[in-house]
Structure 1
Amino acid sequence: MDNRTNLDDYLAGLGISGADESELPPPAPDAALTAPPTPGAAPETPQATLERFLRGLVSRIDPDLSVTVRETEDALEAEITGENAAKLAGRDGRTLGAIEVLAYTVLAKHEGRTKERVRVDVGGYRKRQADTLTKLAERLAVQVAKSGEPHELQPMPAAERRVIHIALKEHPDVMSESVGEGAARRLMIKPRHG
């Protein structure tokens, strides 16, 4: 892969840049929101940039999907909804993860190195996943508290580890910590001593 090739070239190769407008499906009714900002206009907020990118992306996938973006204290959170939104998550959330990486990359490119976190959910996938992980954390906490033996989970992404850390943060009998490096980083649940 050529390091000199920029993001615009990659997006054009994927067919999601403004260069190939003649080959794209007709624009969605909210085309004004997906159009690039007018040169000389006031700078776009990170929230507006993220919303414009995601609306442009989903309008090409399924024009019936809708996007809402809100700012929380630690991130920009986007929700993609619609009848077929859940399909956009992909197997094990991989497509959703890729959309999130692209959204962050576009935001960072527009903002010039941003520390803004970006979280994208489609059809409630992330919420269901967080609920499942919270229940798992609670079950494992009972098991670890009863046995007194630590339990090590399989490697998982940082966002999933974070859900478990938060679920066990105030637990009186157990604590959690991340161990390992890179893709092998995993979570350990241990009895709380003392």
Structure 2
Amino acid sequence: MDNRTNLDDYLAGLGISGADDVETPPPAPEVAAFPASVAEAVPEEPSAVLERFLQGLITRIDPTLTVQVREGEDALEAEIGGENASRLAGRDGRTLGAIEVLAYTVLAKQAGRSDLRVRVDVGGFRRRQADTLTRLAERLALQVAKSGEAHELQPMPPAERRVLHIALKEHPDVTTESVGEGAARRLIIKPRHA
């Protein structure tokens, strides 16, 4: 079972063609040791599917990058590390978001698990972003508590809204609410006792 073949199959199934000029390392010995019929008969753990997909993807981008997958409370969490990992996040985390969508799609298709959430971080980008959003939430909560008036934020992705909701969940003076639909969905911070 060759990582390149599997990645090409994943990408082709998503309507994306792979680059033919990129060399990939030979398959790991433990993967090559299984005959195809045995590998197909044994259902694969979702974390193994995710790790294999991400490893194949990052090998094509930068072979020096590493990937670690672990099972979190409510999602499979992957950390891509290495000297140039943070560049993989892309502008405003867009590339990282695309990687998460691809990873979720592969997981749903290959492991039959569309119920699992997937979170991918590269070089601590998501962690830094969450810290920044948490500080913003605390600053806006103070402003709303002082003024007594709600503050509506610009539309933002679900993961970012979730960070703000969690940051202010236990706040004694404010509460949060998401309003709107789709890409226009935004968060409102309001006084708790209004």
Q: TM-score when scaled to structure 2? A: 0.86
Question: Is the CA contact 1:153–1:186 (under 8 Å) kept in the aligned structure 2?
Answer: yes
Q: 2:17 matched to which residue of 1? A: 14
Q: Which piece of structure 1 moves more, 156-165 or 36-45?
A: 36-45
Q: 1:191 matched to which residue of 2? A: 191
Question: Is the CA contact 1:34–1:56 (under 8 Å) kept in the aligned structure 2?
Answer: no
Return closer, same or farther for 1:62/1:186 CA change in 2, 3 Å cut-off.
same
Q: 1:82 matched to which residue of 2? A: 82
- Give structure 1 stretches of 5+ with no counterpart: 1-5
Q: 2:96 matched to which residue of 1? A: 96
Question: Is the CA contact 1:34–1:52 (under 8 Å) kept in the aligned structure 2?
Answer: no
Q: 2:171, 2:187 → 1: CA distance? A: 16
* Pairing 1:101-180 to 2, within 5 Å after superposition: 101-180=101-180
Q: CA deviation at 1:9?
A: 2.8
Return closer, same or farther for 1:182/1:26 CA change in 2, 3 Å cut-off.
closer
Letter in 1 for 2:160: E
Question: Is the CA contact 1:34–1:53 (under 8 Å) kept in the aligned structure 2?
Answer: no
Return closer, same or farther for 1:117/1:34 CA change in 2, 3 Å cut-off.
farther
Q: CA deviation at 1:45?
A: 0.2
Q: 1:56 matched to which residue of 2? A: 56
SS in 2 for 1:128: helix
SS in 2 for 1:40: helix
Corresponding residue pairs, total = 182
Q: Check if 1:32 corresponds to 2:25.
A: no
Question: Is the CA contact 2:161–2:187 (under 8 Å) kept in the aligned structure 1?
Answer: yes
SS in 2 for 1:14: coil
Q: 1:109, 1:193 → 2: CA distance? A: 46
SS in 2 for 1:187: strand
- Give structure 2 stretches of 5+ with no counterpart: 1-8
Return closer, same or farther for 1:183/1:63 CA change in 2, 3 Å cut-off.
same
Q: 1:46 matched to which residue of 2? A: 46
Question: Is the CA contact 1:150–1:189 (under 8 Å) kept in the aligned structure 2?
Answer: yes
Deviation per CA, 1:16-56: give whole Å up to 9, x if none: 6xxx5xx431417xx42896974323221000000000001
SS in 2 for 1:39: helix
Question: Is the CA contact 1:35–1:52 (under 8 Å) kept in the aligned structure 2?
Answer: no
Letter in 1 for 2:53: F
Question: Is the CA contact 1:174–1:191 (under 8 Å) kept in the aligned structure 2?
Answer: yes
